[in-house]
Structure 1
Amino acid sequence: MYTTSDENGILNNFANEPDMYYAVYPTQKQQRGYLVQGVFAALFIVGLGVVVTLVS
């Protein structure tokens, strides 16, 4: 972090910027994992809807 001051003596702090990096496209194994997670999430939401419907 570095600090600057203006002509009135007011301090201004600046944070360090993080290093930039490029995103890496997910591998086939990661993509399959995301698909499985999506299916389980969808089933969970549908299941919650069924339970809510049955209880009400």
Structure 2
Amino acid sequence: MYTTQLDNGVLNAYAVETEAYLAEYPSAEQQQRYMLQGAIASLFVTGLFMVALAVS
């Protein structure tokens, strides 16, 4: 673990930083899966609102 000592004697421990990298653009298959997940999530939230309105 990497530590430093301040002027007043206090020790600070810093986590090791990982290497930064750029994300890759999702493939066409991943994009289709994301759209399907979004559609299912939208239907789920709409259903929750409909149930909430029905029971109120």
Coarse TM-score class (shorter-chain normalised): 0.7 to 0.9
Q: Does 1:31 align with 2:31?
A: yes
**Can you give the 5+ residue segments of structure 2 that lack an aligned partner in the other structure?**
none
The percentage of counterpart residues that share the same residue type is: 48
Partner of 1:54: 54
Name the amino acid aligned to 2:38. G
Relative to the length of structure 2, the TM-score reads 0.81
Counting matched residue pairs gives: 56
Q: How far off is 1:28 after superposition?
A: 0.4
Query: Per the alignment, do residues 29 and 10 of structure 1 end up closer, same or farther by CA in structure 2, a change over 3 Å counting?
Result: same
Partner of 1:17: 17
Q: How far off is 1:9 after superposition?
A: 3.1
Secondary structure at the counterpart of residue 21 of structure 1? coil
How many angstroms apart in 1 are the aligned matches of 2:12 and 2:3? 6
- CA RMSD in angstroms comes to 1.4
Runs of 4+ in 1 over 4 A off after TM superposition: none
